[in-house]
Structure 1
């Protein structure tokens, strides 16, 4: 069982993981050991609610295929266990970020006192700059 939040959890069989060889420099360790993790999560067949599925599919992330499969490749660490943990954390964070709803902003206006202070500061700054001019005798 993979716990995303207090109310959201996924079964282990919903996430498909395979170990692959990492890319990039690293010598023998990279060339011989399959330490990178390729995580595949099918959004459409998951046990998430329809609202969560819709929010995930609507996100403009390049890791989501046309079929609705989220692919995460974790190869930051040297060991397979750390890469597995990293992949799960990235999946968890992706689901949390995609399903988070921001509170609507209520537009406000500056107070009368704030507007008055702003105008006074502008006048004072203007006066300071005016005094920098040439002095006539």
Structure 2
């Protein structure tokens, strides 16, 4: 009997919690008033306590840092996103983001594997994390 009461209370509370939590967030985890799931805007960066681009992405779009596929013979790096800063590729995997100070960031954008391959050529099975700086591109 007590169990049914708890379920009833949970059933009444969960929709309100779900609406409050999900109503203002996009699928990528960003506030809807900002850039959406594939863009981190300057305003979003400013609202974090991050010190570098890696921390910004880890806080706001952690899924960008996860591999899209396992390593293979044709894709030795696995499905991790490649890092570009102002259209220049960086070595070092996603950790290369830590070389970009938060004060330099204008925008960070995730480019899908298909779009990255069209734009940059093969070898982008995990897509691209593109950092645009305030002084560069």
TM-score by length of 1: 0.22
TM-score by length of 2: 0.22
Structure with more relative contact order (C-alpha pairs < 8 Å, separation 6 or more): 2
Larger radius of gyration: 1
